Structure 1
Amino acid sequence: MRLIEKETYQEASIAASQLLINLVTQEQDPVIGLATGSTPEGLYKQLVANYQAGNVSFTSVKTFNLDEYVGLGPEHPNSYYYYMAQKLFNQININQTQTHLPNGQAVDLASECKVYEHLIANAGGIDLQILGLGGNGHIGFNEPGTSFQSNTHVVQLDASTRAANARFFESEAAVPAQAITMGINTIMKSKEILLIVTGNGKAKALKQLLNQEKNEQFPASVLHEHGNVTIIADQAALSEMK
Protein backbone atom coordinates (compact mmCIF):
# COMPACT_ATOMS: atom_id res chain seq x y z
CA MET A 1 0.00 0.00 0.00
CA ARG A 2 1.24 3.45 -0.90
CA LEU A 3 0.77 6.06 1.85
CA ILE A 4 0.51 9.75 0.96
CA GLU A 5 0.76 12.00 3.99
CA LYS A 6 -0.90 15.43 3.94
CA GLU A 7 -0.96 18.12 6.61
CA THR A 8 -4.67 18.91 6.63
CA TYR A 9 -8.05 17.53 5.58
CA GLN A 10 -8.17 20.15 2.83
CA GLU A 11 -4.82 19.04 1.43
CA ALA A 12 -5.87 15.40 1.60
CA SER A 13 -9.07 16.21 -0.29
CA ILE A 14 -7.13 18.07 -2.99
CA ALA A 15 -4.71 15.16 -3.40
CA ALA A 16 -7.60 12.71 -3.70
CA SER A 17 -9.33 14.88 -6.29
CA GLN A 18 -6.16 15.13 -8.38
CA LEU A 19 -5.82 11.36 -8.45
CA LEU A 20 -9.43 10.92 -9.53
CA ILE A 21 -9.30 13.72 -12.12
CA ASN A 22 -6.18 12.17 -13.64
CA LEU A 23 -8.09 8.93 -14.13
CA VAL A 24 -11.13 10.66 -15.62
CA THR A 25 -9.03 12.62 -18.11
CA GLN A 26 -6.85 9.65 -19.10
CA GLU A 27 -9.37 6.81 -19.34
CA GLN A 28 -11.90 6.68 -22.17
CA ASP A 29 -14.92 5.46 -20.18
CA PRO A 30 -13.85 5.38 -16.53
CA VAL A 31 -15.89 3.51 -13.94
CA ILE A 32 -15.55 4.96 -10.45
CA GLY A 33 -16.75 3.52 -7.15
CA LEU A 34 -17.93 6.22 -4.76
CA ALA A 35 -18.30 6.50 -1.00
CA THR A 36 -20.41 8.68 1.28
CA GLY A 37 -20.11 10.10 4.79
CA SER A 38 -18.11 13.08 6.00
CA THR A 39 -14.68 11.91 4.77
CA PRO A 40 -15.25 12.31 0.99
CA GLU A 41 -17.15 15.61 1.22
CA GLY A 42 -13.95 17.58 0.66
CA LEU A 43 -13.11 15.42 -2.34
CA TYR A 44 -16.52 16.10 -3.89
CA LYS A 45 -16.17 19.84 -3.30
CA GLN A 46 -12.85 19.76 -5.14
CA LEU A 47 -14.38 17.82 -8.05
CA VAL A 48 -17.19 20.34 -8.34
CA ALA A 49 -14.74 23.26 -8.22
CA ASN A 50 -12.57 21.69 -10.92
CA TYR A 51 -15.61 21.05 -13.11
CA GLN A 52 -16.77 24.65 -12.70
CA ALA A 53 -13.27 25.85 -13.60
CA GLY A 54 -13.39 23.81 -16.81
CA ASN A 55 -10.63 21.44 -15.73
CA VAL A 56 -12.60 18.20 -16.07
CA SER A 57 -15.71 16.74 -17.69
CA PHE A 58 -17.68 13.80 -16.32
CA THR A 59 -19.82 13.01 -19.37
CA SER A 60 -18.12 9.66 -19.99
CA VAL A 61 -17.96 8.58 -16.33
CA LYS A 62 -19.98 5.76 -14.81
CA THR A 63 -20.29 5.52 -11.04
CA PHE A 64 -21.26 2.84 -8.54
CA ASN A 65 -21.75 3.70 -4.89
CA LEU A 66 -20.62 1.35 -2.17
CA ASP A 67 -23.85 1.16 -0.26
CA GLU A 68 -27.33 2.38 0.64
CA TYR A 69 -29.50 2.12 3.73
CA VAL A 70 -32.32 -0.40 3.60
CA GLY A 71 -35.70 1.33 3.77
CA LEU A 72 -34.62 4.82 2.71
CA GLY A 73 -35.83 6.12 -0.65
CA PRO A 74 -33.97 8.55 -2.91
CA GLU A 75 -35.89 11.56 -1.56
CA HIS A 76 -35.02 10.83 2.07
CA PRO A 77 -32.43 13.42 3.17
CA ASN A 78 -30.33 10.73 4.89
CA SER A 79 -30.29 8.33 1.95
CA TYR A 80 -27.03 8.03 0.10
CA TYR A 81 -28.85 8.66 -3.18
CA TYR A 82 -29.83 12.08 -1.81
CA TYR A 83 -26.32 12.68 -0.46
CA MET A 84 -24.72 12.00 -3.83
CA ALA A 85 -27.23 14.19 -5.67
CA GLN A 86 -26.61 17.11 -3.32
CA LYS A 87 -22.85 16.77 -2.86
CA LEU A 88 -21.84 15.89 -6.42
CA PHE A 89 -24.17 14.67 -9.15
CA ASN A 90 -26.40 17.76 -9.38
CA GLN A 91 -23.35 20.04 -9.60
CA ILE A 92 -21.41 18.37 -12.42
CA ASN A 93 -22.13 17.29 -16.00
CA ILE A 94 -22.46 13.58 -15.32
CA ASN A 95 -25.17 11.60 -17.11
CA GLN A 96 -27.56 10.66 -14.29
CA THR A 97 -28.38 7.35 -16.01
CA GLN A 98 -24.74 6.39 -15.57
CA THR A 99 -24.84 6.80 -11.77
CA HIS A 100 -25.76 3.74 -9.72
CA LEU A 101 -26.65 3.05 -6.10
CA PRO A 102 -28.25 -0.03 -4.57
CA ASN A 103 -32.04 0.27 -4.20
CA GLY A 104 -32.67 0.30 -0.48
CA GLN A 105 -36.42 0.05 -1.06
CA ALA A 106 -36.27 -3.06 -3.24
CA VAL A 107 -38.97 -5.60 -2.41
CA ASP A 108 -36.52 -8.45 -2.99
CA LEU A 109 -33.23 -7.36 -1.43
CA ALA A 110 -31.35 -10.53 -2.35
CA SER A 111 -32.30 -10.06 -5.99
CA GLU A 112 -31.28 -6.39 -5.84
CA CYS A 113 -27.82 -7.45 -4.63
CA LYS A 114 -27.41 -9.81 -7.59
CA VAL A 115 -28.61 -7.13 -10.02
CA TYR A 116 -26.06 -4.68 -8.62
CA GLU A 117 -23.25 -7.19 -9.08
CA HIS A 118 -24.31 -7.74 -12.69
CA LEU A 119 -24.42 -3.98 -13.36
CA ILE A 120 -20.85 -3.60 -12.14
CA ALA A 121 -19.66 -6.56 -14.19
CA ASN A 122 -21.45 -5.33 -17.32
CA ALA A 123 -19.71 -1.96 -16.93
CA GLY A 124 -16.37 -3.74 -17.12
CA GLY A 125 -15.64 -3.56 -13.41
CA ILE A 126 -14.54 -0.60 -11.30
CA ASP A 127 -11.39 1.26 -12.34
CA LEU A 128 -11.01 3.26 -9.13
CA GLN A 129 -12.84 2.60 -5.87
CA ILE A 130 -12.99 5.35 -3.23
CA LEU A 131 -13.10 4.08 0.35
CA GLY A 132 -13.31 5.50 3.82
CA LEU A 133 -12.21 3.64 6.95
CA GLY A 134 -14.62 2.82 9.75
CA GLY A 135 -13.49 3.02 13.34
CA ASN A 136 -13.96 -0.75 13.62
CA GLY A 137 -12.19 -1.34 10.32
CA HIS A 138 -15.27 -1.59 8.14
CA ILE A 139 -15.05 -0.70 4.45
CA GLY A 140 -18.34 0.01 2.76
CA PHE A 141 -20.72 -1.41 5.33
CA ASN A 142 -18.76 -4.65 5.65
CA GLU A 143 -18.65 -5.06 9.40
CA PRO A 144 -16.12 -7.12 11.40
CA GLY A 145 -16.57 -10.80 10.67
CA THR A 146 -17.72 -10.29 7.07
CA SER A 147 -16.28 -12.92 4.76
CA PHE A 148 -13.54 -11.70 2.47
CA GLN A 149 -15.33 -13.70 -0.26
CA SER A 150 -18.58 -11.72 0.08
CA ASN A 151 -20.26 -10.06 -2.89
CA THR A 152 -22.93 -7.35 -2.69
CA HIS A 153 -25.18 -8.28 0.22
CA VAL A 154 -27.52 -7.08 2.95
CA VAL A 155 -25.74 -6.38 6.22
CA GLN A 156 -26.91 -5.85 9.79
CA LEU A 157 -25.16 -2.68 10.89
CA ASP A 158 -22.89 -2.86 13.91
CA ALA A 159 -23.91 -0.81 16.96
CA SER A 160 -20.71 1.25 16.71
CA THR A 161 -21.43 2.05 13.06
CA ARG A 162 -24.97 3.17 13.83
CA ALA A 163 -23.67 5.29 16.70
CA ALA A 164 -21.07 6.91 14.42
CA ASN A 165 -23.75 7.73 11.83
CA ALA A 166 -26.30 8.97 14.36
CA ARG A 167 -25.08 12.55 13.90
CA PHE A 168 -26.79 12.57 10.51
CA PHE A 169 -30.14 11.48 11.99
CA GLU A 170 -32.53 12.71 14.67
CA SER A 171 -31.29 9.99 17.01
CA GLU A 172 -29.32 6.77 16.99
CA ALA A 173 -32.60 4.85 16.99
CA ALA A 174 -33.50 6.52 13.68
CA VAL A 175 -30.42 5.08 11.93
CA PRO A 176 -31.52 2.11 9.79
CA ALA A 177 -30.45 -1.26 11.13
CA GLN A 178 -29.59 -2.67 7.71
CA ALA A 179 -27.87 -1.63 4.50
CA ILE A 180 -27.01 -3.04 1.11
CA THR A 181 -23.27 -2.91 0.54
CA MET A 182 -20.74 -4.00 -2.04
CA GLY A 183 -19.04 -7.05 -0.61
CA ILE A 184 -15.35 -7.25 0.18
CA ASN A 185 -14.75 -9.49 -2.83
CA THR A 186 -16.57 -6.92 -5.00
CA ILE A 187 -14.37 -4.11 -3.68
CA MET A 188 -11.20 -6.14 -4.13
CA LYS A 189 -11.97 -6.68 -7.83
CA SER A 190 -11.48 -2.93 -8.41
CA LYS A 191 -8.39 -2.19 -10.48
CA GLU A 192 -7.29 0.57 -8.09
CA ILE A 193 -8.37 1.55 -4.58
CA LEU A 194 -8.08 4.95 -2.93
CA LEU A 195 -8.54 4.93 0.84
CA ILE A 196 -9.02 8.38 2.39
CA VAL A 197 -8.45 8.57 6.16
CA THR A 198 -8.76 11.86 8.01
CA GLY A 199 -9.28 13.11 11.54
CA ASN A 200 -8.20 12.05 15.03
CA GLY A 201 -11.19 9.74 15.27
CA LYS A 202 -9.68 7.43 12.63
CA ALA A 203 -6.12 7.44 14.00
CA LYS A 204 -6.37 4.16 15.93
CA ALA A 205 -8.07 2.42 13.01
CA LEU A 206 -5.39 3.61 10.58
CA LYS A 207 -2.61 2.46 12.89
CA GLN A 208 -4.28 -0.93 13.19
CA LEU A 209 -4.66 -1.18 9.42
CA LEU A 210 -1.02 -0.38 8.75
CA ASN A 211 0.25 -2.82 11.38
CA GLN A 212 -2.20 -5.71 11.28
CA GLU A 213 -2.12 -8.77 9.06
CA LYS A 214 -5.21 -9.84 7.14
CA ASN A 215 -8.03 -10.68 9.55
CA GLU A 216 -11.79 -10.78 8.91
CA GLN A 217 -12.37 -9.13 12.30
CA PHE A 218 -10.81 -5.99 10.81
CA PRO A 219 -12.23 -5.90 7.26
CA ALA A 220 -9.93 -3.19 5.88
CA SER A 221 -6.94 -5.45 6.52
CA VAL A 222 -7.84 -7.29 3.30
CA LEU A 223 -6.44 -4.31 1.41
CA HIS A 224 -2.95 -5.65 2.09
CA GLU A 225 -3.77 -8.30 -0.52
CA HIS A 226 -4.65 -5.80 -3.26
CA GLY A 227 -1.94 -4.83 -5.69
CA ASN A 228 -2.84 -1.16 -6.16
CA VAL A 229 -3.94 0.68 -3.01
CA THR A 230 -3.22 4.32 -2.23
CA ILE A 231 -3.93 5.72 1.24
CA ILE A 232 -4.22 9.48 1.61
CA ALA A 233 -4.17 10.53 5.25
CA ASP A 234 -3.93 13.83 7.09
CA GLN A 235 -1.73 14.42 10.14
CA ALA A 236 -4.64 14.01 12.52
CA ALA A 237 -5.29 10.50 11.23
CA LEU A 238 -1.57 9.73 11.42
CA SER A 239 -1.23 11.00 15.02
CA GLU A 240 -1.07 7.49 16.51
CA MET A 241 1.87 6.67 14.24
CA LYS A 242 4.20 9.25 15.78
Structure 2
Amino acid sequence: MEVIILPSSKEIGALAADAIEALVRNKPNAVLGLATGSSPLPIYDELARRHDQDGLSFEEVSGFALDEYVGLPVGHYESYREVIRREFTNRVDVGAANVHGPDGSAEDIQGACESYEAAIKAAGGIDLQILGVGTNGHIGFNEPGSSLASRTRIKTLAEQTRQDNARFFDNVRQVPHHVVTQGLGTIMDARHVVLVAFGAGKADAVRDFVEGPVSASCPASVLQFHPRATIVIDEAAAAKLGGAPAYRHAFENKPAWQGL
Protein backbone atom coordinates (compact mmCIF):
# COMPACT_ATOMS: atom_id res chain seq x y z
CA MET A 1 0.00 0.00 0.00
CA GLU A 2 1.37 3.38 -1.04
CA VAL A 3 0.16 6.40 0.93
CA ILE A 4 0.59 9.82 -0.68
CA ILE A 5 -0.21 13.01 1.24
CA LEU A 6 -0.90 16.16 -0.78
CA PRO A 7 -1.99 19.69 0.17
CA SER A 8 -5.36 19.88 -1.57
CA SER A 9 -8.16 18.02 -3.30
CA LYS A 10 -7.15 19.65 -6.60
CA GLU A 11 -3.67 18.12 -6.40
CA ILE A 12 -5.17 14.80 -5.36
CA GLY A 13 -7.41 14.87 -8.43
CA ALA A 14 -4.50 15.75 -10.70
CA LEU A 15 -2.28 12.94 -9.42
CA ALA A 16 -5.04 10.34 -9.72
CA ALA A 17 -5.81 11.66 -13.21
CA ASP A 18 -2.13 11.19 -14.10
CA ALA A 19 -2.44 7.47 -13.36
CA ILE A 20 -5.64 7.17 -15.39
CA GLU A 21 -4.22 9.15 -18.32
CA ALA A 22 -1.08 6.99 -18.38
CA LEU A 23 -3.24 3.85 -18.38
CA VAL A 24 -5.58 5.06 -21.14
CA ARG A 25 -2.77 6.29 -23.39
CA ASN A 26 -0.96 2.96 -22.99
CA LYS A 27 -4.14 0.87 -23.24
CA PRO A 28 -6.90 2.76 -25.10
CA ASN A 29 -9.50 0.06 -24.31
CA ALA A 30 -8.79 0.16 -20.57
CA VAL A 31 -11.51 -0.80 -18.10
CA LEU A 32 -12.14 1.73 -15.32
CA GLY A 33 -14.01 1.18 -12.07
CA LEU A 34 -16.03 4.33 -11.40
CA ALA A 35 -16.94 5.59 -7.94
CA THR A 36 -19.44 8.25 -6.96
CA GLY A 37 -19.71 10.55 -3.94
CA SER A 38 -17.75 13.77 -3.45
CA SER A 39 -14.24 12.27 -3.27
CA PRO A 40 -13.80 11.33 -6.96
CA LEU A 41 -15.15 14.64 -8.31
CA PRO A 42 -11.73 16.34 -8.56
CA ILE A 43 -10.53 13.36 -10.61
CA TYR A 44 -13.44 13.60 -13.02
CA ASP A 45 -13.04 17.37 -13.33
CA GLU A 46 -9.38 16.98 -14.22
CA LEU A 47 -10.00 14.17 -16.71
CA ALA A 48 -12.71 16.25 -18.41
CA ARG A 49 -10.29 19.19 -18.59
CA ARG A 50 -7.61 17.01 -20.18
CA HIS A 51 -10.15 15.68 -22.67
CA ASP A 52 -11.19 19.21 -23.66
CA GLN A 53 -7.77 20.85 -23.65
CA ASP A 54 -5.30 18.04 -24.34
CA GLY A 55 -7.32 15.66 -26.49
CA LEU A 56 -7.29 12.79 -24.01
CA SER A 57 -9.68 10.27 -25.55
CA PHE A 58 -11.87 7.73 -23.75
CA GLU A 59 -13.56 6.50 -26.91
CA GLU A 60 -12.56 2.86 -26.41
CA VAL A 61 -12.65 2.87 -22.59
CA SER A 62 -15.19 0.83 -20.64
CA GLY A 63 -16.48 1.80 -17.22
CA PHE A 64 -18.13 -0.17 -14.41
CA ALA A 65 -19.81 1.65 -11.55
CA LEU A 66 -19.17 0.50 -8.01
CA ASP A 67 -22.74 0.58 -6.78
CA GLU A 68 -26.33 1.71 -7.19
CA TYR A 69 -29.27 2.48 -4.96
CA VAL A 70 -32.16 0.02 -4.87
CA GLY A 71 -35.62 1.51 -5.33
CA LEU A 72 -34.86 4.78 -7.10
CA PRO A 73 -36.73 5.14 -10.39
CA VAL A 74 -34.70 4.87 -13.59
CA GLY A 75 -33.31 8.29 -14.43
CA HIS A 76 -33.55 9.63 -10.87
CA TYR A 77 -31.16 12.55 -10.47
CA GLU A 78 -29.29 10.87 -7.59
CA SER A 79 -29.11 7.38 -9.05
CA TYR A 80 -25.45 6.56 -9.45
CA ARG A 81 -25.85 5.78 -13.13
CA GLU A 82 -27.02 9.38 -13.60
CA VAL A 83 -24.35 10.81 -11.30
CA ILE A 84 -21.57 9.10 -13.26
CA ARG A 85 -23.02 10.34 -16.54
CA ARG A 86 -23.37 13.88 -15.24
CA GLU A 87 -20.01 14.12 -13.48
CA PHE A 88 -17.83 12.21 -15.92
CA THR A 89 -18.92 10.15 -18.90
CA ASN A 90 -21.09 12.83 -20.55
CA ARG A 91 -18.14 15.22 -20.29
CA VAL A 92 -15.77 13.02 -22.32
CA ASP A 93 -16.08 10.86 -25.43
CA VAL A 94 -16.69 7.46 -23.87
CA GLY A 95 -19.51 5.59 -25.61
CA ALA A 96 -22.71 5.31 -23.60
CA ALA A 97 -22.86 1.57 -24.34
CA ASN A 98 -19.44 1.17 -22.72
CA VAL A 99 -20.61 2.41 -19.30
CA HIS A 100 -22.19 -0.16 -17.02
CA GLY A 101 -23.75 -0.11 -13.58
CA PRO A 102 -25.41 -2.55 -11.21
CA ASP A 103 -29.17 -2.81 -11.75
CA GLY A 104 -30.89 -1.59 -8.62
CA SER A 105 -34.33 -1.81 -10.20
CA ALA A 106 -34.15 -5.44 -11.36
CA GLU A 107 -36.92 -7.80 -10.27
CA ASP A 108 -34.29 -10.50 -9.78
CA ILE A 109 -31.59 -8.64 -7.82
CA GLN A 110 -29.46 -11.73 -7.21
CA GLY A 111 -29.52 -12.62 -10.91
CA ALA A 112 -28.62 -9.05 -11.83
CA CYS A 113 -25.66 -9.16 -9.44
CA GLU A 114 -24.39 -12.38 -10.97
CA SER A 115 -24.78 -10.87 -14.45
CA TYR A 116 -22.79 -7.82 -13.38
CA GLU A 117 -19.93 -9.97 -12.13
CA ALA A 118 -20.00 -11.85 -15.45
CA ALA A 119 -19.93 -8.58 -17.41
CA ILE A 120 -16.82 -7.37 -15.55
CA LYS A 121 -15.12 -10.70 -16.22
CA ALA A 122 -16.11 -10.63 -19.90
CA ALA A 123 -14.56 -7.16 -20.24
CA GLY A 124 -11.24 -8.56 -19.04
CA GLY A 125 -11.48 -7.28 -15.46
CA ILE A 126 -11.00 -3.78 -14.11
CA ASP A 127 -7.63 -2.19 -14.80
CA LEU A 128 -7.98 0.73 -12.39
CA GLN A 129 -10.62 1.09 -9.70
CA ILE A 130 -11.35 4.55 -8.29
CA LEU A 131 -12.47 4.49 -4.65
CA GLY A 132 -13.49 6.83 -1.87
CA VAL A 133 -13.93 5.75 1.73
CA GLY A 134 -16.84 6.29 4.09
CA THR A 135 -16.53 7.69 7.59
CA ASN A 136 -17.11 4.15 8.91
CA GLY A 137 -14.48 2.64 6.62
CA HIS A 138 -16.77 1.34 3.88
CA ILE A 139 -15.63 1.13 0.26
CA GLY A 140 -18.28 0.77 -2.37
CA PHE A 141 -21.23 0.15 -0.08
CA ASN A 142 -19.52 -2.67 1.78
CA GLU A 143 -20.54 -1.64 5.27
CA PRO A 144 -18.74 -2.85 8.43
CA GLY A 145 -19.25 -6.59 8.81
CA SER A 146 -19.02 -7.28 5.08
CA SER A 147 -17.19 -10.42 4.06
CA LEU A 148 -13.69 -9.66 2.84
CA ALA A 149 -14.33 -12.13 0.00
CA SER A 150 -17.78 -10.77 -0.95
CA ARG A 151 -18.98 -10.33 -4.52
CA THR A 152 -21.60 -8.00 -6.05
CA ARG A 153 -24.75 -8.22 -3.95
CA ILE A 154 -27.53 -6.28 -2.20
CA LYS A 155 -26.62 -4.57 1.07
CA THR A 156 -28.48 -2.60 3.74
CA LEU A 157 -26.97 0.81 4.36
CA ALA A 158 -25.76 1.68 7.83
CA GLU A 159 -27.66 4.60 9.35
CA GLN A 160 -24.42 6.63 9.47
CA THR A 161 -24.02 6.17 5.73
CA ARG A 162 -27.61 7.29 5.12
CA GLN A 163 -26.96 10.36 7.26
CA ASP A 164 -23.73 11.08 5.36
CA ASN A 165 -25.52 10.77 2.00
CA ALA A 166 -28.53 12.85 3.00
CA ARG A 167 -26.71 15.94 1.68
CA PHE A 168 -27.44 14.69 -1.85
CA PHE A 169 -31.19 14.48 -1.16
CA ASP A 170 -33.76 16.85 0.32
CA ASN A 171 -33.67 14.93 3.60
CA VAL A 172 -32.50 11.62 5.05
CA ARG A 173 -35.93 10.04 4.59
CA GLN A 174 -35.35 10.09 0.84
CA VAL A 175 -32.10 8.09 1.07
CA PRO A 176 -32.80 4.45 0.18
CA HIS A 177 -32.08 1.75 2.76
CA HIS A 178 -30.66 -0.71 0.23
CA VAL A 179 -28.01 -0.71 -2.49
CA VAL A 180 -26.36 -3.08 -4.92
CA THR A 181 -22.59 -2.93 -4.58
CA GLN A 182 -19.49 -4.60 -5.89
CA GLY A 183 -18.13 -6.78 -3.12
CA LEU A 184 -14.76 -6.49 -1.44
CA GLY A 185 -13.58 -9.53 -3.36
CA THR A 186 -14.70 -7.89 -6.60
CA ILE A 187 -12.84 -4.68 -5.75
CA MET A 188 -9.72 -6.65 -4.85
CA ASP A 189 -9.70 -8.22 -8.34
CA ALA A 190 -8.91 -4.81 -9.89
CA ARG A 191 -5.32 -4.63 -11.06
CA HIS A 192 -4.77 -1.16 -9.55
CA VAL A 193 -6.83 0.56 -6.86
CA VAL A 194 -6.63 4.34 -6.35
CA LEU A 195 -8.44 5.52 -3.22
CA VAL A 196 -8.79 9.25 -2.60
CA ALA A 197 -9.94 10.99 0.57
CA PHE A 198 -9.83 14.50 1.94
CA GLY A 199 -11.05 16.37 4.98
CA ALA A 200 -10.79 15.87 8.73
CA GLY A 201 -13.99 13.84 8.70
CA LYS A 202 -12.11 10.99 7.01
CA ALA A 203 -9.10 11.00 9.36
CA ASP A 204 -10.35 8.22 11.64
CA ALA A 205 -11.30 5.98 8.74
CA VAL A 206 -7.96 6.57 7.00
CA ARG A 207 -6.00 5.77 10.17
CA ASP A 208 -8.03 2.62 10.76
CA PHE A 209 -7.76 1.12 7.29
CA VAL A 210 -4.15 2.12 6.61
CA GLU A 211 -2.56 1.36 9.97
CA GLY A 212 -5.13 -0.70 11.87
CA PRO A 213 -5.75 -4.43 11.71
CA VAL A 214 -7.36 -6.03 8.68
CA SER A 215 -10.91 -6.60 9.83
CA ALA A 216 -14.45 -6.78 8.49
CA SER A 217 -15.25 -4.04 11.00
CA CYS A 218 -13.23 -1.68 8.75
CA PRO A 219 -13.90 -2.95 5.21
CA ALA A 220 -11.31 -0.71 3.52
CA SER A 221 -8.58 -2.42 5.56
CA VAL A 222 -8.75 -5.31 3.07
CA LEU A 223 -6.72 -3.06 0.75
CA GLN A 224 -3.66 -3.85 2.89
CA PHE A 225 -3.68 -7.17 1.00
CA HIS A 226 -3.89 -5.57 -2.45
CA PRO A 227 -0.67 -5.77 -4.49
CA ARG A 228 -1.14 -2.28 -5.93
CA ALA A 229 -3.22 0.03 -3.76
CA THR A 230 -2.50 3.76 -3.97
CA ILE A 231 -3.99 5.93 -1.22
CA VAL A 232 -4.00 9.66 -2.03
CA ILE A 233 -5.15 11.96 0.78
CA ASP A 234 -4.85 15.52 2.01
CA GLU A 235 -3.23 16.73 5.22
CA ALA A 236 -6.52 16.79 7.14
CA ALA A 237 -7.35 13.19 6.25
CA ALA A 238 -3.76 12.19 7.15
CA ALA A 239 -3.84 13.92 10.54
CA LYS A 240 -4.09 10.72 12.61
CA LEU A 241 -1.57 8.60 10.71
CA GLY A 242 1.40 7.66 12.86
CA GLY A 243 3.45 6.84 9.79
CA ALA A 244 2.80 10.13 7.98
CA PRO A 245 6.46 11.29 8.05
CA ALA A 246 7.57 8.01 6.50
CA TYR A 247 4.88 8.20 3.81
CA ARG A 248 5.93 11.74 2.90
CA HIS A 249 9.61 10.73 2.76
CA ALA A 250 8.88 7.76 0.51
CA PHE A 251 6.87 9.84 -1.96
CA GLU A 252 9.35 12.72 -2.02
CA ASN A 253 12.15 10.28 -2.90
CA LYS A 254 10.19 8.07 -5.29
CA PRO A 255 11.84 7.49 -8.69
CA ALA A 256 9.99 9.45 -11.37
CA TRP A 257 9.88 6.45 -13.69
CA GLN A 258 7.90 4.44 -11.16
CA GLY A 259 4.65 6.37 -11.58
CA LEU A 260 1.71 5.42 -9.38
Superposition TM-score, scaled by structure 2 size:
0.91
Per the TM alignment, residue 200 of structure 1 is displaced from its structure 2 partner at its CA by 1.0
Structure 1 partner of 2:93: 93
Structure 1 partner of 2:4: 4
Question: Structure 2: how far apart are the matches of 1:141 and 1:115?
Answer: 18
Is 1:117 the counterpart of 2:133 in the alignment? no
Structure 1 stretches lacking a partner, 5+ long: none
Query: What is the number of residues matched between the two proteins?
Result: 242
AA in 2 matched with 1:42: P
Per the TM alignment, residue 54 of structure 1 is displaced from its structure 2 partner at its CA by 2.8
Structure 1 partner of 2:257: none
Question: Structure 2: how far apart are the matches of 1:182 and 1:83?
Answer: 17
Structure 1 partner of 2:79: 79
Structure 1 partner of 2:178: 178
Question: Structure 2: how far apart are the matches of 1:66 and 1:215?
Answer: 21
Question: Structure 2: how far apart are the matches of 1:23 and 1:115?
Answer: 26
Structure 2 partner of 1:197: 197
Per the TM alignment, residue 2 of structure 1 is displaced from its structure 2 partner at its CA by 0.6
Per the TM alignment, residue 197 of structure 1 is displaced from its structure 2 partner at its CA by 1.1
Question: Structure 2: how far apart are the matches of 1:230 and 1:159?
Answer: 28
Is 1:136 the counterpart of 2:133 in the alignment? no
Question: Structure 2: how far apart are the matches of 1:83 and 1:228?
Answer: 27
Structure 1 partner of 2:234: 234
Superposition TM-score, scaled by structure 1 size:
0.98
Per the TM alignment, residue 93 of structure 1 is displaced from its structure 2 partner at its CA by 0.4
Question: Structure 2: how far apart are the matches of 1:147 and 1:190?
Answer: 17
Residues 10-37 of structure 1: per-residue CA shift (max 9 Å, x gap) = 1111111111111111114200101000
Question: Structure 1: how far apart are the matches of 2:38 and 2:172?
Answer: 17
Is 1:223 the counterpart of 2:223 in the alignment? yes
Structure 2 stretches lacking a partner, 5+ long: 245-260
Structure 2 partner of 1:20: 20
Percent sequence identity over aligned pairs: 40
Question: Structure 1: how far apart are the matches of 2:140 and 2:54?
Answer: 31
Question: Structure 2: how far apart are the matches of 1:11 and 1:149?
Answer: 33
Question: Structure 1: how far apart are the matches of 2:91 and 2:190?
Answer: 26
AA in 1 matched with 2:129: Q
Question: Structure 1: how far apart are the matches of 2:74 and 2:5?
Answer: 36
Question: Structure 2: how far apart are the matches of 1:235 and 1:147?
Answer: 31
Retained in 1: the 8 A contact 2:28–2:58?
Answer: no
Retained in 2: the 8 A contact 1:74–1:80?
Answer: no
Residues 145-196 of structure 1: per-residue CA shift (max 9 Å, x gap) = 0111111000000001000000111111110000000001100011110011
Structure 2 partner of 1:53: 53
AA in 2 matched with 1:52: D
Q: Secondary structure at the match of 1:143?
A: coil
Instruction: Tell me the C-alpha RMSD between the 2 structures.
Output: 1.0
Per the TM alignment, residue 107 of structure 1 is displaced from its structure 2 partner at its CA by 0.9
Q: Secondary structure at the match of 1:126?
A: coil
Per the TM alignment, residue 143 of structure 1 is displaced from its structure 2 partner at its CA by 0.4
Question: Structure 2: how far apart are the matches of 1:234 and 1:185?
Answer: 27
